[in-house]
């Protein structure tokens, strides 16, 4: 179809979805543009979420509701929505009204770019989430070669070529920013408001944020392997220096080293570093095995349109 597709991952929200649909409808009527909405229920534990989505589908002919078989995460749910989107442009946004649909025209004005990001003027996150978000932003800059000034959010507009490119990349652990920056560097941002969540609570717990950051570091870069290589080189040089010094004291100076404590400490240090290295390499191997098996990043349980 010509026009726009709005992809919205959903988790445990209900009444706010009706308000969201109404606002989106108002925006596109003002723009005089064709559109569709694709809600992807990421296996919500709230049974009323799917009921609400089914009611919306029954009342509006341009809405599709997809229910995943289990909770795959926001990025996988978004990829699922992209695979069903038919519009020339696809807009992704959250389900809790922290992204205001009335800001969609701001994204559309910059649609000559491959990707347009809605960047928050002032974040309405908790202190801990802001710290995690800033850390992730730094890693995006260092690992994904994201422009330093660019602030990523889930409120974005993608043109059809970028969507098709993302869908061609088959991975069981999708991370949208990595996929986007792999395909294009033509990314711009517009300032939008960030509003307080109107329903429920964030699905990103501390554990999930750690998993997201680990996915960014391990799935999309070799930085840990390089770091371990550097540590190994430094420790090897240090070891050679210590060995030379000990031999010098023993054979040249005639000083015997009674080094039981230092010996045990050295063994524990190197043993710990070896175990750490094996653990990191093992984590990479696990991810490689997953990719070679190619387990899809999502499974659809039910579709209603």
Element (H, E) at 235: helix 223-247
Give the number of domains in the chain. Answer: 2
- Residue ending a domain, among 201, 235, 251, is 201
Q: Which domain holds residue 186?
A: 4-201
Judge if 110 and 67 occupy the same domain. Answer: yes
Whether residue 113 contacts residue 184, with contact meaning beta carbons closer than 8 Å, is answered with no
* pLDDT score of 210: 63
The interaxial angle of helices 206-219 and 260-293, nearest 10 deg, is: 80
Q: How confident is the model at residue 207 (pLDDT cuts 50, 70, 90)?
A: low
More reliable by pLDDT, 210 or 70: 70
Whether residue 50 contacts residue 304, with contact meaning beta carbons closer than 8 Å, is answered with no
Judge if 43 and 146 occupy the same domain. Answer: yes
* Residue 160 falls inside a structural domain: yes
Judge if 173 and 273 occupy the same domain. Answer: no
Judge if 151 and 288 occupy the same domain. Answer: no
- Residue ending a domain, among 201, 232, 251, is 201
pTM over 0.85: no
**Mind listing the pLDDT tens digit for each residue in 241-266?**
766 676 666 666 655 556 655 665 57
Judge if 137 and 55 occupy the same domain. Answer: yes
* Residue 216 falls inside a structural domain: no
* pLDDT score of 268: 59
Judge if 161 and 266 occupy the same domain. Answer: no
Residue 153 sits in a domain of what CATH number? 3.90.550.10
**Mind listing the pLDDT tens digit for each residue in 24-62?**
999 999 999 999 999 999 999 999 999 999 999 999 999
- % of the chain exceeding 70 in pLDDT: 65
Cβ neighbours of residue 197 under 8 Å, at least 6 residues apart? 96, 97, 98, 124
* pLDDT score of 170: 85
Residue 126 has pLDDT above 60, yes or no: no
- Residue ending a domain, among 201, 236, 258, is 201
* Residue 277 falls inside a structural domain: yes
For the segment 142-166, the average pLDDT, to the nearest whole number, is 85
* Residue 229 falls inside a structural domain: yes
* Residue 17 falls inside a structural domain: yes
């Amino acid at each position: 179809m010509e026009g726009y597709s709005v992809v919205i991952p959903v988790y445990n929200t209900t009444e706010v979805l009706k308000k969201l649909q109404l606002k989106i409808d108002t925006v596109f009527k003002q723009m005089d543009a064709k559109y569709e909405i694709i809600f992807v229920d990421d296996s919500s534990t709230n049974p009323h979420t799917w009921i609400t989505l089914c009611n919306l589908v029954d009342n509006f002919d341009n809405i599709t509701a997809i229910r995943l078989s289990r909770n795959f995460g926001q990025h996988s749910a978004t990829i699922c929505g992209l695979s069903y989107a038919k519009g020339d442009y696809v807009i992704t946004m959250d389900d809790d009204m922290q992204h205001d649909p009335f800001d969609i025209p701001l994204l559309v004005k910059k649609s000559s770019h491959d990707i347009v990001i809605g960047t928050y003027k002032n974040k309405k996150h908790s202190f801990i989430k802001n710290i995690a978000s800033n850390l992730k932003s730094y890693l995006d800059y260092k690992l994904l070669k994201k422009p330093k000034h660019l602030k990523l959010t889930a409120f974005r507009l993608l043109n059809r070529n970028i969507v098709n490119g993302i869908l061609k990349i088959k991975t069981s652990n999708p991370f949208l920013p990595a996929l986007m920056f792999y395909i294009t560097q033509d990314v711009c941002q517009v300032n939008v408001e960030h509003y307080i969540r109107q329903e429920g609570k964030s699905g990103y717990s501390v554990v999930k944020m750690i998993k997201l950051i680990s996915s960014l570091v391990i799935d999309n870069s070799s930085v840990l392997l390089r770091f371990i290589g550097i540590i190994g080189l430094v420790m090897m040089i240090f070891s050679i220096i210590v060995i030379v010094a000990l031999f010098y004291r023993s054979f040249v100076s005639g000083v015997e080293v009674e080094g039981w404590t230092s010996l045990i400490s050295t063994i524990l240090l190197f043993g710990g570093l070896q175990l750490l290295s094996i653990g990191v390499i093992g984590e990479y191997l696990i991810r490689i095995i997953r990719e070679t098996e190619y387990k899809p990043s999502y499974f659809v349980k039910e579709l209603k349109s």
